[in-house]
Copies of this chain bind each other. A is one copy, B any other.
């Protein structure tokens, strides 16, 4: 059996101290990997340098893995595994495959019987859920809100209804530059007693996490314009 594995490697979410968010062991694993599938080569180079200043970037091989990557590339992308070399998957921020590219090629790896090993690190979705105080026995992450016309309103109402019917926390995200606009829509659309957690800038100096009812948020919105944020609601 080959020892080559597909490692899923969490990366920083914004400007964070790596010692605060990654186990030392991650460095150990990463330092032995020569092949990387990455959402953003520049960000990854910076991350690897941050992790270890002595890294020789030119010795490493990078392929871009993002939403434009074609399925036809996957087999070639996993060639190093066939040759006994491990591969690291690194997304732009946070955990690969969770609200980030990586799931499809991970599934492809399973289908071809390669071992997949996740490393530990920050996931904004999980951190927000943990810190929200909202039901963590049943919760759903719904990805990006739709943007056109009245679709966001319909979707918010659907989340609210489901959270009520199933007592399932519903989380979602928005492009950060539309955060304040989304908050205004939520204040108008959701029931006054629905609880809303706003979890912004997680693991950075700007970290803000607070859960209040829609009624309590009115007139006291936090400034989260352009700050990556997870929203969680529970009616």
* A residues whose Cβ falls under 8 Å from a Cβ of B: 8, 17, 19-25, 95-100, 102-111, 116-118, 120-123, 125-127, 129-143, 168, 195, 197, 202-203, 207, 209-212
Contact = CB atoms under 8 A, between A and B. Distances in A.
A133 B120 contact: no
Contact of A8 (B110, B130, B212): B130
Given A116-B209, A120-B203, A134 B19 contact: no
A127 B131 contact: no
* 4 shortest interchain CB distances as A-B pairs: A107-B133, A106-B133, A140-B140, A20-B25
A23 B25 contact: no
29 contacts: A17-B25, A19-B23, A20-B23, A22-B23, A95-B130, A96-B130, A97-B131, A97-B132, A97-B136, A99-B136, A99-B137, A102-B130, A102-B136, A103-B134, A103-B135, A103-B137, A110-B210, A118-B127, A118-B130, A118-B131, A120-B121, A120-B127, A123-B123, A123-B126, A126-B126, A138-B142, A140-B140, A140-B168, A142-B168
A67 to B, nearest CB: 10
A212 B108 CA distance: 10
A120 B108 CA distance: 29
Nearest to A104: B133
B117 A131 contact: yes
B168 A21 contact: no
Given A97-B130, A118-B202, 7 more contacts: A21-B120, A98-B129, A106-B130, A118-B131, A120-B122, A138-B142, A138-B143
B97 A129 contact: yes
Contacts of A207: 117
A211 B25 CA distance: 25
Of residues A98, A100, A197, which shows the largest number of chain B Cβ atoms within 10 Å of its Cβ? A98
Contacts of A141: 138-140
Contact of A23 (B23, B97, B132, B210): B23
